[in-house]
Structure 1
């Protein structure tokens, strides 16, 4: 019910790196874990990334809960719920087919493009709802839902931005899982694979905690985007070859 050892190790490395990026910057888990996992273990996607994402998001948000902008949460979470429902309908036609790797690769590159575009979007109820809806669609289909919210919080103080995005991320994973479960796309094999990787989440969160107050979001951003771009490019080339 889990991949072969080499595939498991590749997934474990991607989960650990993605978890550390998520904790420190508020984005990066899905963009790192999803393309690697769909390369080596596509039959476990996207449910496994979403299951692990719940622990990553909640654990990361809990460590910085005092910095969360709580007033931003309701409209963003409402949008995320709507987007997850829409995506669940699309997922029934994509998950388990050869189209999924291509969708994941394109979504990762779209996320990178949004991150480097330099756009400045004000944080309002309407933009939070719109970003949440977009994140809900992207996250439910691929496990990558952070980029739209990261765009809104690009100029917000690093600790507040990371904590708030982590709160959105954790909630988003929960509603995306609920949507996929309602569509019949989550089974025991996903739960078993996620359980085998789950211990890496608290271990990585604990190991990265000393760096949270010292590492600037901008310092790790180029590395995160570079790794995500490389993984997505390999995925797309392999799918189209």
Structure 2
């Protein structure tokens, strides 16, 4: 383990904080279909911003694939294509922008802004019709936000927030999985994924397994309840701290 921390150039305490963030966010993602990025990204940005967004996006692929498999029967296939198209387009544009950003503290600050925008969208109560145009638009917005900051769920969450829990969870997990894949490919195209990102993600895979294992027995009980207020509150605190730290730097 000591060799791992040396290769990542971080301490055990920092790695443990990242482990906890991924464990918590992966469990919430399974239960709600959102929140992996909005919870994990600001928490990791506080202690290890150098691993964002690539490290978290790599982990997100595993979270999304595992979560979507559980609710596969609830997917509405006609809505997938336009959403996937928009998400991929947004990722390509964002990767070109990300290639010009070299300041990890700036990425941390942008992550904080993205999280606060996501929280405001989530609390807005807006009801947006789910159709091809809104799916493409939300997909592009998610691609831009997710590829630069690893927080891409809010636009799609806005579309599905008034849908039945199982359908909303299934659709958001599908877009989440595709979003992680498209963002990782776009970043790799720009040469923004390194060996450190891969090692970091690999070392935290047990946190995902543990988070999903803990959440599985809770999924049925949570059909009529939500962890959303707690996840949003935690994310807001972390995001505000990130922005304040950037402004005071």
* Residues 223 and 210 of structure 1, relative CA distance in 2, 3 Å threshold: same
Residue aligning to 2:30: 23
Number of positions where the alignment pairs a residue of Structure 1 with one of Structure 2: 241
Asked whether the equivalents of residues 27 and 211 of structure 2 are also in contact (C-alpha less than 8 Å), the reply is yes
Residues 1:197 and 2:181 aligned together: no
Residues 1:94 and 2:101 aligned together: yes
* Residues 41 and 16 of structure 1, relative CA distance in 2, 3 Å threshold: same
Worse overlay, 121-130 or 62-71: 62-71
* Residues 131 and 217 of structure 1, relative CA distance in 2, 3 Å threshold: farther
Alignment match of 1:210 (pick from 178, 192, 217): 217
Alignment match of 1:162 (pick from 169, 187, 199): 169
TM-score by length of 1: 0.97
Asked whether the equivalents of residues 25 and 217 of structure 1 are also in contact (C-alpha less than 8 Å), the reply is no
Deviation at 1:217, TM superposition (A): 6.4
* Residues 78 and 239 of structure 1, relative CA distance in 2, 3 Å threshold: same
Residue aligning to 1:50: 57
Deviation at 1:131, TM superposition (A): 0.4
* Residues 58 and 78 of structure 1, relative CA distance in 2, 3 Å threshold: same
Residues 1:237 and 2:240 aligned together: no
Ranges of 4+ aligned residues in structure 1 off by more than 6 Å: none
CA deviation vs aligned residue, 1:50-98 (integer Å, no higher than 9, x gap): 0000001111111111112222110000000000000011101225443
Q: C-alpha separation between the residues in 1 aligned to 2:37 and 2:86?
A: 19
Q: C-alpha separation between the residues in 2 aligned to 1:9 and 1:212?
A: 26
Q: C-alpha separation between the residues in 1 aligned to 2:84 and 2:207?
A: 27
What is the RMSD of the two structures over their aligned residues, measured on CA atoms?
1.1
Residue aligning to 2:4: none
Residues 1:14 and 2:21 aligned together: yes
Asked whether the equivalents of residues 57 and 183 of structure 2 are also in contact (C-alpha less than 8 Å), the reply is yes
Asked whether the equivalents of residues 111 and 149 of structure 2 are also in contact (C-alpha less than 8 Å), the reply is yes
Alignment match of 1:126 (pick from 101, 110, 133): 133
TM-score by length of 2: 0.94
Worse overlay, 168-177 or 211-220: 211-220
